[in-house]
Amino acid sequence: KKMELAVLKQNGEDTGRKINLSDDIFAIEPNDHAIYLDVKQYLAAQRQGTHKSKERNEIAGSTKKIKKQKGTGGARAGSIKAPNFRGGGRVFGPRPRDYSFKLNKKLKKLARKSALSYKVKENSLLVLESVAFDAPRTKSYVSFLKDLSLSDKKTLLVLPENKKFVYLSSRNLPKTKVITVDSVNTYD
């Protein structure tokens, strides 16, 4: 049996048409580990990685030997910048680095398909005939969500191409996101 979804109008009414969903995208056995890796990669790539603390070679301070080697009863000490002194350097402190890592394209594709298959399984996928606003107004996006009875839900609207007014109308709402189909990712 083919998987079918009703096509809705922007105001939430049924157009009477149905759309066939491809089984190899929306009805695969989801791979949770692939989803995990893809989301992990996405979040890692968002990290700025500009953290830094000074190590003992970077501390501004004298290189003079603090006290003589022997005879003071304390442990030997060569530098005020050593990590065991107050104001000394940090041992193996954080350094600026890039957290992003590579994943295979096939794995990322599998993760995306898995996410979409989950959405269909949970009945949380709606197909709309078209979405268009004649001016950027948040109010009209709110009533659009109300018509689809999605007001209190997190929503991701995927458009075929960039529609400025739709994007601008949704931008100020906390639980909504509008993207184009070429930037669909597992995390979203």
Query: Confidence class of residue 147 from pLDDT cuts 50, 70 and 90?
Result: confident
**Other beta carbons within 10 Å of 171:** 13
**Other beta carbons within 10 Å of 30:** 17
| pTM, two decimal places | 0.80
Proportion of the chain above pLDDT 70, given as a percent: 99
Q: 13-37, pLDDT tens digit by residue? A: 888 888 888 888 888 899 999 999 9
pLDDT mean across residues, the chain: 90
In 3D space, the residue among 121, 127, 108 whose CA is nearest the CA of residue 27 turns out to be 121
d(CA 57, CA 70): 25
